[in-house]
Amino acid sequence: MTNFNMNTYQNDIIVSILQTIEEINHLKDVDTILDKILYEARKLSRSDAGTIFLVEDNQLKFSYVHNDTLFKKDESNAALYSNYSVPINEGSIVGYTALTGDPQNIEDAYQMSPNTPYHFNPDYDKKSGYRTTSILTIPLKTFENKLVGVMQLINAKNDSGQSIPFSIESQTYVPLFANHASVAIERGVMNRELILRMMKMAELRDPTETGAHVQRVGAYSAEIYQQWANRHKLDKKVIKRNKDIIRLAAMLHDVGKVGISDFILKKPGKLSDQEYDIMKWHTVYGARLFINTTSLLDTISREIALNHHEKWSGPGYPGKIENILTENIAMGTPKQGEEIPLAARITSLADVFDALTSKRSYKEAWTDEQILGTIEKESGKQFDPELVDCFFQIFDVIKAIRAKYQ
């Protein structure tokens, strides 16, 4: 009888793990994949908090965090965009886990055996007021044994919410899932890099701009969307899926600049009216790349590329165009308000904010005061006023993103 119960219990866990793996395999962007993996690992181990570090340039780069005690669930959160790395060596728990490939199970971070090679760094607890007790670290390795990162789970909880050591089950089940998770992470990183490379082709020619602009616009857009979607009380799963897609699609907003000549793209001064008219075609050129409508990512990418220079109160560009494949057509009659797809309204705000923050070949960076003043002034004109509200509500997150991708 006991055995039977054990098996049912184990079965439920395995089914849940398999379901999660299936869901992760549908996600595209690395941040959403990390969120899902951390969620599942914390559910399996009943832990309060967790962090994922990814291997980058032979270091462990902080990449994702959950903390039920410190952060509100499913809300935009500046801590996600912290920017630091830990060396892969014996000095830290995660460094040691990466170095040796062995999971570490620590009962109390403040009472570790003096024989352990690594030390617990209490800085984060000191700053945040959090109390780290139990820690479980898991190396994230693909089936080919390639290390992609380390997951650190913190404070396993019992039924009454007290921190307890991580159980044998946690040590068994979380690693079971780690290989699949690692493969998904590798794929997510590859997707992100593929997009950055694609954008480099478009932006390489503009030497002041690199992947950083693209990453910022993607992250701003994803967070503004989440704030908007929370307000509209959309289903949590729907929000996660759309956020995943909007982040990638927003990164591609200017991909149509590949079709614009160097002379215009790199011009150090102000564009003439004629040159500006040519520049406007980057919206249509971009949209043509996503003419295929088989995936939601293609659809949203096309909506964003085509409409990210439309204005809430009209007229932006290119306006209503019957067939974007037709050559030599004039710009269309103006679109406005909700005729402009939501994802494009969001990206427009993110793009202009970022363009104003940055130095361009044709202009200096603005101060925050000037930028915020302009955005406020343009609320209801250039920008959807509700999105401007969302933007200001998460401005601390926006600043954290800007600091992360410099």
Determine, following the binding rule CB under 5 A, whether residue 310 of this chain makes contact with Fe ion.
no
Minimal distance, residue 18 CB to ligand SIN, in Å: 29
Among 363, 377, 381, 399, binds ligand C2E (CB under 6 A): 363
Site for ligand C2E in 305-334 (CB under 6 A): 309
With H, G, I as helix, E, B as strand and everything else as coil, classify residue 148. strand
**351 part of the interface to Fe ion, by CB under 5 A:** yes
248 counts as binding ligand SIN under rule CB under 6 A: no
Which does residue 119 bind out of ligand SIN, Fe ion, ligand C2E, none, counting CB within 5 to 8 angstroms by kind?
Answer: none
Least Å distance, CB 381 to ligand SIN, is 15
Q: How far apart are CA 165 and CA 97, in angstroms?
A: 18
Interacting residue with ligand SIN among 34, 55, 343, 401 (CB under 6 A): 343
139 is an interface residue for ligand SIN by CB under 6 A: no
Site mask for ligand C2E (CB under 6 A), range 236-275, x = bound: -------------------------------x--xx----
Write the CB contacts of 48 (distance below 8 Å, at least 6 apart in sequence): 42, 67, 68, 69, 154, 155, 156, 157, 163
Q: How far is the CB of 266 from ligand SIN (least distance, A)?
A: 15
Choose which of 242, 301, 348, 382 interacts with ligand SIN (CB under 6 A): 242
For the purposes of burial, counting CB atoms within 10 Å of the CB of 386, is it exposed (0-12), middle (13-18) or buried (19 or more)?
Answer: middle
- Give Cβ neighbours of residue 320 (< 8 Å, ≥ 6 apart): 332, 333, 334, 335
Say how far apart CA 229 and CA 231 lie, in whole Å.
5
**Residue 332 phi/psi, 5° resolution?**
-85, 180
Could you tell me the smallest distance in angstroms from the CB atom of residue 31 to ligand SIN? Answer: 18
Of 346 and 401, nearer to ligand SIN (C-beta) is: 346
- For Fe ion, give the closer residue by CB, 50 or 218: 218
In degrees and rounded to multiples of 5, residue 199 shows phi and psi of -70, -30
Let me know: does 108 contact 100? Beta carbons within 8 Å: no
Full DSSP string of 93-140: HHHHHHHH---EEES-TTS--TT-SS---THHHHHH------EEEEEE
| Amino acid residing at 205 | R
Q: Specify the length of the chain in residues.
A: 406
158 residue type, one letter: N
Range in contact with Fe ion (rule: CB under 5 A) among 52-60, 118-126, 150-158, 346-354: 346-354
Instruction: Return the range that interacts with ligand SIN (CB under 6 A); candidates 66-74, 179-187, 250-258, 335-343.
Output: 335-343
What residues are annotated to the active site?
257
CA distances from 162 to 97, 136, 158 (A): 26, 16, 6
Which spans of this chain sit near ligand C2E (rule: CB under 6 A)?
Answer: 267, 270-271, 279, 309, 351-352, 355-356, 360-363
Which spans of this chain sit near Fe ion (rule: CB under 5 A)?
Answer: 254, 351
Which spans of this chain sit near ligand SIN (rule: CB under 6 A)?
Answer: 242, 271, 276, 300, 341-343
